[in-house]
Amino acid sequence: MSALLKAPSVTSTLPREPGAAPSANPDAFRSLYEPLANGIPGGQERAAAADFLRDALRDTANGADELPATGASLVDWMETNMRSVHGQYQNYLQARHGGAPRRYFTNRAHALYFLRQVAPTKLVDGAWLYGLCAYADNPRLSDLVLTYLEELGNGDADKNHVTLYRGLLARYGLDPLDGVPDTHYQQGLIQLALGWNAQEFLPEIVGFNLAYEQLPLHLLITAYELNELGIDPYYFTLHVTVDNADTGHARRACQAAIDAAPRMDDGGEYWRRVRAGARLGDVGVGTLDVIRSFDIDQEVVRIFAQKAPAGHGAHSDFCKVAGRKVNDWLADPQEVPAFLAALEQAGWIRKNQPATESRFWNLLQGDRAEMFGVFSPYELQVIHDWLRGDASADGAAFEAAAGAHGTDGLPQLPRRPVSFRVAERLRQARAGRSGTAGSAAPAGSTSQWLDTDLSLLRERLPTLAPAEQRDLLVRAMSPALHWTPAGLVATQAFVERTYSV
C-alpha cells in the first residue's frame, strides 16, 4: 500500500526494544532511521524514536553547547557567530590564494566520498521541523513552519533540499549507499525522531533548529572546494544563502526561540530544554570527522569486497592472476588486499602513474573495455585517484582518463580540471541555454507527473472534509514523501491554503 495512505500502525515490528543500547545491534540506528525516513511510521516506531531521543538527551546532558546562558541576547549571539565564521573564511581564502592546498578534500574521490557518507543526514534535511506542520495555525510556531517549507522549496522541486541532494547522488553515481557505516545514520535519526515527536519535544526542536541553522565554517569551505573540484556545490551554497543572518533561517531560528518561549514563569525550564536540543546537533559523526575518515586504500578494498560476491563466478577459467583463477580470488572478500597486491605484482595495476598505464583500468574504461559498467561512477573515481596517487590532487575526473579515443576517433588529450562554475558556463554556452544540470526533480509540469502517491492524493483529496484534507497534505509533506511528486504538489497546496489571504 502507498506510504501516503497507509494508516499509522501500532503493531509494527520494532528494530529494537525501546531503551536498548543502540550499540547492541550493528544496524541499530539505520533500522530505526529507515521506517521514519521512508514511510509513515507506526505508533511503536515513533515511541522507539522518542526513547532514542530521551537516551540521547541523557547522554549529552553534561556536554557543552554554544548557546548563550539566556535567550535575551540571541540575535547578538548569532551575529557574533556569523562575523567570526566570515573572518575565519576570509583567512582560509587568503591562505588558498597564497598557495595553500585544499583544507578538506585531497582529490575528487575524497569529495565524493564525503557527499556519500553524509547522505543519510542530508536525505532527511529539515525533518526535525516536520511535526510542526500540523500546528501551522499557531502564530508562535510560524517561523519554524516557514523554515520547514523552505527546506521543501515550498513545493518547487528545484529548491527542495532533499531533491537537490538526491540529484547530487544520482549525478555523481554515489548511490546506493552500501557500506556507509551505521553511525552515519545517527544524526539523521535524531532529526527524524524530533520531527515525528514534536508534541513531546517542542523546546528541544527549537534549540536544535537554533544551533543547526547557524552558518558553520565547514559549509563555506565545502562549497568552495567542491566547486574547485568541478563538483556541483549548489546544495551547499544554497544553505549559505538561506541561513543568512539578516532574513534567513539563522535569524528566523532566533525569532522562533523567542516566539515559542513561555510568557509564564517556568523557572528557566524552557531555556534549559532549548539548550539540550541544541546539543543534539553534535550527536553522531560530525562533518570534519567524516572528512578525516577518508582512507583511499581502505575505500578501494571496501569497493572490491562489495563487488566480490557478484564477480565470483563471473570470470572464465582463463582469467588468472599470480597463477590463481580470478573466480577463486573473489570467493572470499577477505582476500581483496592480497588480490590487489597480486594484480600490482603482475603488472595489471601500476600505482602512481596515469590510470591508463594500468591494464586493469583499461578493462574498466575506454574502447572495448571488457568490464565496462561493473563499477559505478563513484567507484571508478576512487580507483582512478588511487591509481594516480599524489597526482590526483589536481582533481581530474575519471572521465578525463577514461577513453583512449574521443567521439571523433582521435586520441583524447588529458583535460585540465576546471571548477564546476566554469564547466557549467561552458556547458550552457555550448547548449545555448541555461538551467540547473543534474537535478533529480521530476521533469515537466505537475500535471504530467506519473506517480502512484500523486494519483492517490488527487483521487482522495476532493472526497475529504477540510480538516482531513489538511491531515492528508501534512502526511504527504513528511520526510518520506515531501520530495516526491505527491509531496511537492501537497506542499504547494499547503502553502496556498495556509498563507493565501
Q: Which residues contact 226 (CB under 8 A, 6 or more apart)?
A: 105, 111, 232, 233, 236, 420
**Which of 118, 231, 106, 238 has the alpha carbon at shortest distance from 172?**
231
Q: Distance between CA 479 and CA 42 in Å, rounded?
A: 14
Residue nearest to Fe ion (CB): 161
Smallest gap from residue 90 Cβ to Fe ion (A) = 24
> Which among 306, 287, 292 is positioned nearest to 119, based on CA atoms?
287
Asked if residues 103 and 92 have their Cβ atoms less than 8 Å apart, the reply is yes
Q: In the complex with Fe ion, which residue's Cβ is closer, 125 or 204?
A: 125
Stretch that binds Fe ion, among 68-76, 118-126, 356-364, 485-493 (CB under 5 A): 118-126
22 vs 216, beta carbon nearer Fe ion: 216
Nearer residue to Fe ion within complex by CB, 164 or 308? 164
CB of 45 to Fe ion, least distance (A): 24
Pick between residue 237 and residue 362 the one whose CB is nearest to Fe ion.
Answer: 237
Structure-block grid coordinates of residue 193: 525522531
Q: How far is the CB of 280 from Fe ion (least distance, A)?
A: 16
Q: How far is the CB of 329 from Fe ion (least distance, A)?
A: 44
Segment near Fe ion (CB under 5 A), from 30-38, 150-158, 169-177, 418-426? Answer: 150-158
Residue 125 or 451: which CB sits closer to Fe ion? 125
Strand partners, 324: 321
Q: Count of residues binding Fe ion (CB under 5 A)?
A: 3
Task: Using CB under 5 A, pick the residue from 30, 46, 122, 161 that binds Fe ion.
Answer: 161
**Distance, C-alpha 167 to centroid of its chain:** 10
- Write the single-letter amino acid at 44: Q
Closer to Fe ion by CB, 34 or 125: give it: 125
Nearer to Fe ion, 45 or 125 (CB): 125
Q: How far is the CB of 121 from Fe ion (least distance, A)?
A: 10
DSSP symbols for 313-347: TTS-TT-EETTEEHHHHTT-GGGHHHHHHHHHHTT
Q: Find the binding residues for Fe ion in span 193-232 (CB under 5 A).
A: none
Write the DSSP string, 411-476: BPPPPPP--HHHHHHHHHHHHT----TT--SPPS-GGG---HHHHHHHHHGGGS-HHHHHHHHHHH
Q: Least separation, in Å, of the C-beta of 261 and Fe ion?
A: 24
Nearer to Fe ion, 248 or 277 (CB): 248
CA distances (Å), origin 368, targets 53, 208, 361, 372: 54, 53, 12, 8
> Of the ranges 100-108, 154-162, 287-295, 398-406, which one interacts with Fe ion (CB under 5 A)?
154-162
Nearest approach, Cβ of 235 to Fe ion (angstroms)?
Answer: 8
Write each residue from 66 to 105 as x if it is in contact with Fe ion (CB under 5 A), else as -, in one continuous string. ----------------------------------------
Q: Which residues of 400-427 are buried (b: 16+ CB within 10 A; e: fewer)?
A: bbbbeeeeeeeebeeeebebbeebbeee
Task: Supply the minimum distance, in Å, between the C-beta of residue 304 and Fe ion.
Answer: 35
Q: How far is the CB of 165 from Fe ion (least distance, A)?
A: 9
What is the closest distance, in whole angstroms, from the C-beta atom of residue 434 to Fe ion in the complex? 24
Comparison of 151 and 225: residue with beta carbon closer to Fe ion: 151
Alpha-carbon gap, residue 236 to 224, rounded angstroms: 9
Beta carbon nearer to Fe ion, 161 or 251: 161
- Only one of the segments 157-165, 273-281, 355-363, 455-463 lies at the binding site for Fe ion (rule: CB under 5 A); that segment is 157-165
Q: Are strands 320-321 and 324-325 parallel, antiparallel or unpaired?
A: antiparallel
- Per CB under 5 A, 125 contacts Fe ion: yes
Residues that bind Fe ion (CB under 5 A): 125, 151, 161
